Chains A and B, each alone.
Chain A
Amino acid sequence: MENKTLASVRKPIKVLDGKVMLIVCIIIVAFLYAANIFGIFSSNTMRYLMKIFLYITMGEMWNLLSGFTGMTSLGNQTFIGLAGFTVAVATSTYNLPIWLGILIGLAIGVVVAFLLSFVLFRMRGMYFAIATWVIAEAICTAFKSWPYVNMGGGMSIKAKPYPKTPEIYLMALTLFVVAMIVVYLLLRTKTGLGLTAMRDDADAASSVGVNIFKSKLLVYVIAAGFTAIAGAIFFINKGTIYPDSGFNIDWTVSMVFIVIVGGIGTVSGPVVGAIVYVLLDEFLAHFPGWSNIILGAIAILVILFLPDGIMGTLQKKLHFEIFSQKRFSEHKKDIGKKAQLQ
């Protein structure tokens, strides 16, 4: 037993962060912005990338809830639908500008998440999962009989001038960048470390001073806010929203797929997962009707044979972590260096 532990300690984990990685990231982001400004990307490429950015954001948020905090939600579509409808109501009923619609959507998402938390946080595990789903279905059902949102008839988003693809691309890119920074910084804080502790053992975490309710609330509200904005941007790109499209369980299907395939509980996982998902989704569009069957089968196979996902498995096999949220002690790093010398 002892040998095994020693061996695992000896293997050095390369943490890819510091100045070099930061510069690489800044270059990538700067390129993504510059490409848009100088019109390097075709509008098709921009549409793909926009989708990827939005799905990364949604995936990161689902991962924050399920992978890092242990709150497996099946109802994040609540915030997508709410924000989408808010933008539609704000722009078509009240003639408000689109950015104000997004802001109100964000506010509604955050407030609803705050209110729901009092009910939801009384539950754990599968009860939480099902309750989030039931709430999404309940809101969807209510919207279908609510004249204010045109019942089940759907609403269209109106704006003059209507944002073009490059502008929506910029919104999505900015959201993605902010979301990544927030997730990384959050996980590095004391609260963030408390989250993983809570996920692994809520009682133990609570006894060493993690305020469970506060931490959960913070994460849930952040996840709701970002998911809401992602939903709003998605529906601005689409133009129309129906209760059945806004509150569809398919949103959760894609978030689960992205996180499971990319690697649950890793920050870089959803990025890889979202790229795989969007490419696969485009490819599967050639086989109408088969897309969910193949996505579902892949997800099940990944859970069975590659439970850490793509990034999780790579990190374990190759002993590296990109911008790890963990705090590696100097002591461990020293042991690693010694092992290398030997």
Chain B
Amino acid sequence: MIIIQYLINGIMLGGIYALLGVGMTMIFGIVKLTNLAHGEFVIIGAYASTLVAQALGVDPILTLIVTVPFMFLLGMGLQSGLINRVMQKGSEPALLVTFGLSIILQDAMLLLFTADARHAGAAYSSTIIKIGSISIALLDIILLAISLLSILILTWFLNKTYMGRSIRATSDDTQAASLMGVSVKKTYAIALGIAMATAAVAGLCIGLKWTFYASSGGSYLLIAFGVVVIGGMGSIPGTLVAGLIFGLAQVIGGANWGLLISYVLLIIMLAVRPQGLFSK
């Protein structure tokens, strides 16, 4: 029974981790950029949801109506205003610029929101459903549903819409896509916009499930990166499986050792099979 309980807890966490990884994998696979500021984007999303929910006195999940478009536009602006320009100089300057962005954002949040722990509370936060000897938090089920739904919508968007197809085309062959009339820069801007939008949703999940700080971005970045590397860059199913692996590692190892297990897993994976389990 305890194994099933672990498995369920792992799956619940895995959904959030997969969502963390999806934003990273989009940028990795499409823009070919390692976005070291993704963790900070997620924390911005967490603050946005928490603050809007507090200000309006609504359920934190409803704040997505505001935070998702806000983060999407922020991402588009960032890509077209800054990152597109640096990317012309090569991949290492671009990597270092996202690194610079991450420290700027982290300290800006520290200034704006202080170093206090934050948490987005909801009415159903402490409800627990019991099935036999297995207990599941209602919150976990809701967060898993939100994560999976977001990933599903994204998959549908990438596969079925014109914009999604042009994004995938750019990812496969930038030159061919631009010859077919796809504006590469615009596609990149939309890709970062979408990545930021997923970060907004992931941020909400993190804010609901755990307490977070202005400085929490780094550890979520490493989880996101781990999910991407283990799943294979640009692969959404791979991201789901890798999210589950990380979730299980966390549940089995507890907070500190779980993190260590994830790191070691990630390093082994990087050394042995850097293209990931599910690469194209």
- Which residues of A are in contact with B by a Cβ distance under 8 Å? 66, 72, 74, 119-120, 122-123, 125-127, 129-131, 133-135, 137-138, 141-142, 144-145, 249, 253, 256, 260, 289-293, 295-297, 299-300, 303-304, 307
Interface of B is mostly: helix
A127 touches B270 (CB 8 A): yes
Q: Which residue of A lies closest to B104 (CB)?
A: A296
In the complex, how many angstroms separate the beta carbon of A64 from the nearest chain B beta carbon? 15
Q: What is the CA–CA distance of A290 and B107 in the complex, to the nearest angstrom?
A: 7
Report B74-117 residues with CB < 8 Å from chain A CB: 82, 85-86, 89, 91-93, 95-97, 99-101, 103-104, 106-108, 110-111
Chain A min CB distance to B28 (Å): 9
Q: Are B104 and A304 in contact (CB under 8 A)?
A: no
State the Cβ distance, A279 to closest chain B Cβ, in Å: 19
Q: Are B96 and A142 in contact (CB under 8 A)?
A: no
Asked if B163 is an interface residue, CB under 8 A from chain A, the answer is no
Distance to closest chain A CB from B31 (angstroms): 12
Question: How many positions in chain B have a CB within 8 Å of any CB in the partner chain?
Answer: 38
Residue B271 at the chain A interface, CB threshold 8 Å: yes
State whether B259 touches A141 (Cβ < 8 A).
Answer: yes
How many angstroms from the CA of A19 to the CA of B109 in the assembled complex?
53
Among A142, A291, A295, A296: residue with most chain B CB under 10 A: A296
Given contacts A137-B263, A289-B111, A293-B107, whether A307 and B89 have CB atoms under 8 Å apart is yes
* Residue contact B108 to A299, C-beta cutoff 8 Å: no
Say yes or no for B257: interface residue by CB 8 A criterion: yes
Say whether A249 contacts B218, CB under 8 Å.
yes
Q: Give B contacts to A, CB under 8 Å.
A: 34, 82, 85-86, 89, 91-93, 95-97, 99-101, 103-104, 106-108, 110-111, 218-219, 222, 225-226, 229, 256-257, 259-260, 263-264, 266-267, 270-271, 274
6 A-B pairs with least C-beta separation:
A138-B263, A296-B104, A296-B100, A292-B107, A126-B34, A119-B271
Whether A145 lies near B257 (C-beta < 8 A) is yes
Q: A134-B266, A141-B256, A249-B218 are in contact. Are A126 and B95 (CB under 8 A)?
A: yes
Q: Say which residue of A74, A130, A134, A300 sits within 8 Å of B101 (CB atoms).
A: A300
B91 touches A303 (CB 8 A): no
Chain A residues with CB under 8 A of B100:
296-297, 299-300, 303
> Measured between alpha carbons, how far is A291 from B108 in the docked complex, in Å?
10
Q: Give the contacting residue for B96; candidates A122, A145, A290, A299; CB below 8 A.
A: A299
Q: Tell me the bound Cα distance from A253 to B91 in angstroms.
A: 18
CB distance A304 to B257 under 8 Å? no
